[in-house]
Amino acid sequence: LSRLLAGLTRDGPVDLDRHLAAHGVLPELGEGLIAEVERSGLRGRGGAAFPAAVKLNVVAAGDGPVVVVNGVEGEPMSAKDRSLLTRTPHLVLDGAIAAADAVGARSVTIAAPEYTHPAVAGALRQRPEVRRRRERVRVTLTASASGYVAGEETAVLAHLEGRPAKPRVVPPLPAQSGFRRRPTLVQNVETLAHMALIARHGAGWFRERGTDERPGTMLVTISGAVRSPGVYETAPGVDAAELVARAGGQVEPIRALLVGGYFGAWVVPGADLEFDEAALRPHGASLGAGVVVALGVSSCPVAETARLAAYMAASTAGQCGPCVNGLGALAGVVERYAGGRVVAGDPENLKRWIDMVRGRGACRHPDGVARMLASAVRVFAKEFDEHGRRGPCRACARPTILSLPTQRSRRAAA
């Protein structure tokens, strides 16, 4: 199943000739693209699954709109956006240009980590028309900030305006008032790549894959206890077992899957768990940005959750009291569970604080952490209890499956 990933070379970016051979020429639909995207049912692939056509319509209705390509990808376990930018940059550019034409924007700004720039700049050089000042649509490339919340769309805009990459309270939505108060279409890299294909093949073709609720293919980043971790193209509705098989199969029996990334939920895969919105909902999970981490039986879920909670608490933008204090307090409790140093009040506070931080921030950071912790407490109730009473288990000492960028590496990347 290759739509987005069609025509990929073994390594390095797909050049313009190869891109055109794989996908054909981008038709000029102009604002006609909006209706096509509406029929396709495409939703944003950055994690929030916001209907793409709604954003397009709001931005198109405003004065002097601009387009921002969000390639920041702050989620450490996700690699799909950087893969698209470095391996098939022309598809992303096609999508961005088509979207700009659709909403009547003359400027496209790509916000992406610096290490993706050689591939994207190379693709731009092959299309000199998009860098010229007097051209219909002008594309510029800028280095994004790093850190978990830096990819949140208002944080991306803050960084582009020269301020710290921190989220702000919405409304107003960026689609109404975004970059320098202009109507701004902030769209994830993968979403735009899908638009490039919808412009070519139409909504009907797009819907041939996926489910009614989540049409189209999607990129999934699989890591953890699988033989070949990486980015794979699949469609919502796929079996969890099939997904693991795509990644080369499991290296040991799988205890649980972290679905949706650090923002997601721990799910114990049943025999026939479908990787789909409706099937994941009862588990408190969603497809999110397509991140799946497989936790093998030799890893300790309590230790992993403790590291995760500490990282997420440290990743707060530091703006909202309930997030700063609540996530810190929650990380402390989980840390004490992992170390077998639970104190009076911890079990009650863990549940109470999970509820207390929900919906209390300018962005959804505290909500995401609450969701992850609620699933951990539910799925690993026995393990939490045992750690609380007996202290670290043998698996606790094993190296972590989750990659947690350190302060130093994050600063180096910034």
Partner 1 sequence: VSDRRRVPRYQRPLASRERPRAPVAELVVDPVACAGHGLCAELFPERIVLDDWGYPIVDSSIPPSLAEHAERAVKACPALALRLRPPR
Burial per residue of 70-88, b for 16 or more beta-carbon CB atoms within 10 angstroms, e otherwise: bbbbbbbbbbbbbbbbbbb
Number of residues forming the site for partner 1 (CB under 8 A): 16
- Please, which residue, 65 or 361, has the CB nearer to partner 1? 361
238-239 vs 274-275, strand pairing mode? antiparallel
How far from 92 is each of 45, 198, 218, CA to CA, in Å?
A: 13, 13, 15
- Please, which residue, 337 or 353, has the CB nearer to partner 1? 353
Cis check for the bond before 171: say yes or no (omega within 30 of 0).
yes
138-143 vs 107-112, strand pairing mode? parallel
Provide, rounded to whole angstroms, the least separation between the CB of residue 154 and partner 1.
Answer: 11
Provide, rounded to whole angstroms, the least separation between the CB of residue 256 and partner 1.
Answer: 30
The candidate with the shortest Cα–Cα distance to 196, out of 22, 59, 10, 55, is: 22
- Interface pick for partner 1 out of 20, 356, 396, 413 (rule CB under 8 A): 356
Window contacting partner 1 (CB under 8 A); options: 63-71, 118-126, 265-273, 349-357: 349-357
Name the amino acid, one letter, at 369.
V
Provide, rounded to whole angstroms, the least separation between the CB of residue 347 and partner 1.
Answer: 15
- Please, which residue, 98 or 362, has the CB nearer to partner 1? 362
Integer Cα distance of 3 and 95 in angstroms: 14
Binding mask 291-330 for partner 1 (x = CB under 8 A): ----------------------------xxxxx-xx--x-
Give the contacts of 8 (CB within 8 A, at least 6 positions apart): 2, 14, 87, 88
Integer Cα distance of 48 and 319 in angstroms: 21
Provide, rounded to whole angstroms, the least separation between the CB of residue 317 and partner 1.
Answer: 9
- Interface pick for partner 1 out of 21, 121, 169, 343 (rule CB under 8 A): 169
Q: Which of residues 139-168 bind partner 1 (CB under 8 A)?
A: 168
Q: Does 177 bind partner 1 (CB under 8 A)?
A: no
- Please, which residue, 168 or 207, has the CB nearer to partner 1? 168
- Rg value, the chain, Cα: 21
How far from 131 is each of 26, 92, 286, CA to CA, in Å?
A: 18, 15, 38
Provide, rounded to whole angstroms, the least separation between the CB of residue 168 and partner 1.
Answer: 7
- Interface pick for partner 1 out of 39, 117, 127, 360 (rule CB under 8 A): 360
Provide, rounded to whole angstroms, the least separation between the CB of residue 151 and partner 1.
Answer: 18
Count of other CB atoms within 10 angstroms of residue 312: 24
Decide: helix, strand or coil at residue 110.
strand
Element (H, E) at 274: strand 274-275
- Please, which residue, 166 or 283, has the CB nearer to partner 1? 166
Provide, rounded to whole angstroms, the least separation between the CB of residue 321 and partner 1.
Answer: 4
Q: Does 393 bind partner 1 (CB under 8 A)?
A: no
Integer Cα distance of 67 and 156 in angstroms: 12
Give the chain's length. Answer: 414
- Please, which residue, 44 or 361, has the CB nearer to partner 1? 361
Tally helices (H) and strands (E) across the chain.
16, 11
Binding mask 271-290 for partner 1 (x = CB under 8 A): --------------------
- Please, which residue, 71 or 147, has the CB nearer to partner 1? 147
**Is there a contact between 141 and 124 (Cβ–Cβ < 8 Å)?**
yes
**Is there a contact between 295 and 258 (Cβ–Cβ < 8 Å)?**
yes
- Please, which residue, 203 or 356, has the CB nearer to partner 1? 356
Q: How far is CA 276 from the centre of its chain?
A: 16
- Please, which residue, 195 or 362, has the CB nearer to partner 1? 362
- Please, which residue, 322 or 405, has the CB nearer to partner 1? 322
Provide, rounded to whole angstroms, the least separation between the CB of residue 406 and partner 1.
Answer: 27
Integer Cα distance of 230 and 149 in angstroms: 23
Binding mask 327-346 for partner 1 (x = CB under 8 A): --x-----------------
Which stretches of the chain bind partner 1, using CB under 8 A? 168-169, 319-323, 325-326, 329, 349, 353, 356, 360-362
